[in-house]
Amino acid sequence: MATGNQSYPTAPSLTIAPRRSWRWRALLIALALLLAVLATFWTAIRGYATTGASYGARVACSCRFVGGRELSDCRKDFEPGMELVSLSEDAEAKSVTARFALLFSQTATYRKGPGCVLEPWKK
């Protein structure tokens, strides 16, 4: 039995370089803070999204089907801060759908007599 000094190959080090380590930690901390803020203010954010989409749909529908203007021209009627609201039109159904930053959408439909009416909210 030979008991001489045998050298075995060592595995490469699996440690992360210190320079990268703090970046990942900072990113994870920032992500955790963002999630905490979203969780804390989610009700308010959803309320603003709902209100913005509803306002946008109603105003754009009235502008388009009561006023007879083009949908692209109806954006002039929006209040400042409504840049995140996108509009789409269904000319056949005489309706306009407004979406607030992919969080909430609302549709307003033109009806003879009452004018543009918001569709009921889905719960």
List pLDDT tens digits, range 44-67.
Answer: 888 888 899 999 999 999 999 999
What is the number of alpha carbons within 13 Å of residue 68 lying toward its C-beta? 0
Tell me if 52 sits within 8 A of 105, measured CB to CB: no
Report if residue 5 sits inside a domain: no
pLDDT at 16 over 60: no
95 vs 17, residue with greater confidence: 95
Report if residue 1 sits inside a domain: no
Report if residue 78 sits inside a domain: yes
Q: Which residues contact 94 (CB under 8 A, 6 or more apart)?
A: 65, 109, 110
Report if residue 47 sits inside a domain: yes
- pLDDT value of residue 9: 64
User: Which DSSP symbol is given to 115?
Assistant: E
- pLDDT value of residue 3: 61
- pLDDT value of residue 21: 79
5 vs 51, residue with greater confidence: 51
- pLDDT value of residue 22: 81
- pLDDT value of residue 45: 86
- pLDDT value of residue 23: 84
Ranges of beta strands (E only) in the chain are 85-90, 95-100, 104-111, 115-118
What does the DSSP assignment read for 81-105?
T-TTEEEEEETTTTEEEEEETTTEE
- pLDDT value of residue 30: 95
Report if residue 70 sits inside a domain: yes
**5-33 burial, b for 16+ CB within 10 Å, e for fewer?**
eeeeeeeeeeeeeeeeeeeeeeeeeeeee
Report if residue 20 sits inside a domain: no
Burial-class residue 54 by CB neighbours within 10 Å (0-12, 13-18, 19+).
buried
Q: What is the pLDDT of residues 72-111, one digit of tens each?
A: 899 888 888 888 899 999 999 999 999 988 788 999 999 9
Q: Which domain does 66 fall in, by range?
A: 26-118
Report if residue 69 sits inside a domain: yes
Position 20 confidence tier, pLDDT thresholds 50, 70, 90: low
Report if residue 112 sits inside a domain: yes
Domain count, the chain: 1
